[in-house]
Homo-oligomer: A and B are copies of this chain.
Amino acid sequence: MTDGPALASSTERALIDRIRARLDAPPPWLRVGPGDDAAVVDPERNLCDVVTTDVCVEGVHFDRAFVPPDAIGHRALAVNLSDLAAMGAKPRLATLSLVLPPSLDLEVFDAVLDGFLALARVHRTTIVGGNLSRSPGPLVVDVTAIGTVHRRKILRRAGARPGDAVYVSGTLGDARAGLEQCRNGVQEQTGEPLRARALRPDPRVRLGMLLGRTQTASSCMDLSDGLADALSQVAEASGVQLQIDAALLPIRPEARLWFEARGADPLRAALAGGDDYELLFTVPGRRRGRLQNVARLIAGLPLTRIGSVTRGAGVIVQRSDRTDELPAGFSHFGGG
């Protein structure tokens, strides 16, 4: 991609120094930061820790042919912050593990870091440590993120009750459409939202925190593996049935056009497309007023009612033409 020097020309120590030079001044609660055998952190009083880990692997989660390096770093943190958001947690710290092909350009290394650290700054997430290793194969970025939540404000997948309404944030299928556009070499255009959503997902941290703190949502989950998967998981964890009205699914006109032009069903894409990193959540009837307050506070991010919770099991999707029962859609591990 460039003619700059590769990682192999640097020492591990030099690479670590390159990372440390980019870090902000440590907060007072970080007693021992990067550079010792481990980091030492003062816990936050009266709050629980929320711990998640997620990995991004070249050739599986991103393709360096069309994903810019800063977007790789951004995504590696975003997917973890999205998990914290789904629990109602406030992000606090993260570790960054990089498994790096020695042939990687130093410029690419810097850009991966810059994307990671820019998002960390937005969400006030302190990098407390990490490690570097050579990779004999793909670039791997593994992140553990830790946040905090009050013990009575935890959002779980279990908790949806018959009578609750089912909501989703943002729009669905954008990331899939955007990814297809990237793969097809569609040029990025100003104001074009789909590629941006695919490349730099915006974890719904503020929404998750508000839904938890105001005790508005009875259950919550992020859409990392697509809406259909999230619906099934919440139904199973809560021991309820979710009835979804397909006509209510929020799909951008641009995404709808993209799918239709390629002979694909936009509803199917909205249900099955992963990587949207929106939140699926349920709201009891008596909390509808609180939800309006939350919606006001996060103005700009639509919250759409897409169905309701009933007794039973599984997920029912009602379409104008027919009613589908969603199959338990677990892909084979070897598959895409």
Chain A residues within 8 Å of B, Cβ to Cβ: 6-15, 31-32, 35-44, 47-55, 57-61, 83-84, 86-87, 89, 93, 95, 97, 99-100, 102, 128-138, 140, 142, 144, 146-147, 149, 151, 154, 156-157, 220-222, 237, 330-334
Cβ contact within 8 Å between B38 and A136? no
Nearest CB of chain B from residue A308's CB, rounded to whole Å: 22
Cβ contact within 8 Å between B86 and A332? no
Task: Report the separation of the CA atoms of residues A14 and B312 in the bound assembly, to the nearest whole angstrom.
Answer: 24
Nearest CB of chain B from residue A307's CB, rounded to whole Å: 20
Besides A40-B48, A41-B49, A51-B144, 16 more A-B contacts (Cβ < 8 Å) are A9-B334, A32-B156, A38-B83, A38-B87, A38-B147, A42-B48, A43-B48, A51-B129, A55-B99, A57-B99, A57-B133, A57-B135, A60-B136, A95-B144, A134-B333, A135-B138
Q: Which residues of B contact A102 (CB under 8 A)?
A: 333-334
How many monomers of this protein are in the complex? Answer: 2
Cβ contact within 8 Å between A136 and B137? yes
Nearest CB of chain B from residue A81's CB, rounded to whole Å: 10
The listed residue (B37, B52, B99, B129) touching A157 by CB distance below 8 A is B37
11 contacts between A and B (CB under 8 A): A13-B330, A38-B89, A40-B87, A43-B44, A43-B49, A52-B129, A53-B129, A57-B99, A99-B142, A102-B333, A102-B334
Cβ contact within 8 Å between A10 and B50? no
Nearest CB of chain B from residue A52's CB, rounded to whole Å: 4
Cβ contact within 8 Å between B97 and A55? yes
Task: Report the separation of the CA atoms of residues A64 and B44 in the bound assembly, to the nearest whole angstrom.
Answer: 42
Residue of B nearest to A335 (CB): B8
The listed residue (B31, B58, B99) touching A154 by CB distance below 8 A is B31
Cβ contact within 8 Å between B53 and A130? yes
Cβ contact within 8 Å between B8 and A332? yes
Task: Report the separation of the CA atoms of residues A201 and B61 in the bound assembly, to the nearest whole angstrom.
Answer: 33
- Given the known A-B contacts A41-B51, A49-B41, are A87 and B36 also in contact in the complex, defined by CB atoms under 8 Å? yes
Cβ contact within 8 Å between B41 and A48? yes
Task: Report the separation of the CA atoms of residues A334 and B7 in the bound assembly, to the nearest whole angstrom.
Answer: 7
- Given the known A-B contacts A51-B146, A142-B97, are A8 and B39 also in contact in the complex, defined by CB atoms under 8 Å? no
Cβ contact within 8 Å between B8 and A87? no
Q: Which residues of B contact A51 (CB under 8 A)?
A: 38-41, 93, 95, 128-129, 144, 146
Cβ contact within 8 Å between A50 and B57? no
Nearest CB of chain B from residue A6's CB, rounded to whole Å: 8
Task: Report the separation of the CA atoms of residues A36 and B158 in the bound assembly, to the nearest whole angstrom.
Answer: 9
Q: Which residues of B contact A333 (CB under 8 A)?
A: 7-8, 10-12, 15, 100, 102, 132, 134
Cβ contact within 8 Å between A9 and B137? no
Cβ contact within 8 Å between B32 and A40? no
Task: Report the separation of the CA atoms of residues A52 and B50 in the bound assembly, to the nearest whole angstrom.
Answer: 16
Q: Which residues of B contact A44 (CB under 8 A)?
A: 43
Q: Which residues of B contact A39 (CB under 8 A)?
A: 50-52
Residue of B nearest to A31 (CB): B48
Task: Report the separation of the CA atoms of residues A39 and B87 in the bound assembly, to the nearest whole angstrom.
Answer: 9
Cβ contact within 8 Å between B144 and A53? yes
